[in-house]
Structure 1
């Protein structure tokens, strides 16, 4: 096959490209230039959008012996990922930009261009496994390495995208990938993994949002209110600085009557009100999902599990679908779940699909 290997400049994508080439595929490496100004994104080894990362990817391609190109997708990335991130926070929701990047950039814009150029598949360094099911459809399963499994952020991929994807690392553990990289002479063998959000230069999400939204946000400033008493405990500069379940950085000063910490329970972007209360009030047992993305056959009713955060725990759940609406009953309550997050649905290790959480229903206080 003719394979386009997306090379971020990290160890995982480099080894994935090397394995694809070793398997006999005709591999071409590409690095995605996602920043209009590379200096404004992550520096050093903390991200995947810098000039250093591009150079690391090029050197890895040279060692592997494959052609290498840089594709500028910065405008598309800014529109589909960065602006979406800002819009979601301004609306009081908590998005995951990595899912949006996979959905809109790596497995849409890149894959579409690759197929148009005559490539058969795109290979990445994601930790997930692909198998052909009994019905002939391509199934995506969790990776062998539970600690590195990335099937959650790939839960937005549909059947056509999976049919043109390769995940060469799905059957490997991270320590083995690093050893293999060193044995292959890849200089990125010991390069640290990227963390946090690649386009937030210093990892301070709230500060970045404050700088980008600031006075332009419709919800600039508001009250922090105690749910139980209704008392105003303080003021804030914008709801975009908060997410459901947040405990630190509330700056409300006055302790709760029982001395326990308060958490963000609700965010109202129109009035600017942030409601806080005890941790037990964060428990939710029902979720309403919208904009579902199915990896294969659409389930009518499924007793399986859902994952609500990247590398988060699984929750037993009953999932029912009705057109573009997904109802999720959590048999194991979850805490601190916010609208905008993704609920990725599993049947065992198989990824069934995902939905964006539109609303949650909290466990009654007297339950």
Structure 2
């Protein structure tokens, strides 16, 4: 089943559906068409009826709510553009360093940008009587898609800190790129948490809970953690490793294609850079000789705070015919940059590969 996606999608798994577009297809537009947007799922994709769907909001609130879709849509509507990036984006490079059994070899296109419409999560929390002076804690999200990855199987869930949940950018969204959410992208309602790994933007959300600490759901407490190279990720827990949240600075090359055959001379190179949390992309450098020399790319910043930055460069590939390595690195506004090698960031789950993105060109 294609789930309304283009035939060119690179399908890593059919059931549940996990797929990303070819990088060149992702480069075609700043806002990613819905039929190109990557899809990451952990269990069978639910088919929920908008007429009977409801959202329970409870926990540390004084007025617990149960909202129908019509009642949710009675809150002020908000539309914003935001990039989502899978925590396993560019895992394929890490797998080439050392095998990561059981994990999909995501390439550089498990990242996409859409325009989302919904309501602010904080408005719903306020309506439920969230204490405005409460600052500690998490807001947890639960969905009905049961994943066999957890042992025993359990529905998908996760949480974000209360301080993030109160941000005006965090949405309960029912529309994507001006159309109702499709089933594969979380219809009828999903969470959108800009700046955080895509795993925290829980799809098919049915339950929101304000609580003292992070969710104990498998996908918060055990999965989506960076543990040391010698650790067993299946037995990681809340005290182990680093729980992933804000996306570290990353950049990737979308055109030309890997192992393509450009002629010597001026070559148009393009890609994206993205920094989550409260950071922005400050600079992107491109090299045609695997980092021996660098040229700064031209950046296209969006007026939308939560989107990627696209970059382009017409680089003079005045090189001898043969194989050459193109590399890119990004810097964020704190001065942090991408590490040089995938070996430096390898971890047993293959998360957060922020090393320089590289591809080979066979100059003719």
Please state which structure has a larger fraction of its residues in helix: 1
Larger gyration radius, structure 1 or structure 2: 1
User: Which TM bucket (shorter chain)?
Assistant: under 0.3
Identify, as 1 or 2, the structure richer in strand: 2
TM-score scaled to structure 2, two decimals?
0.28
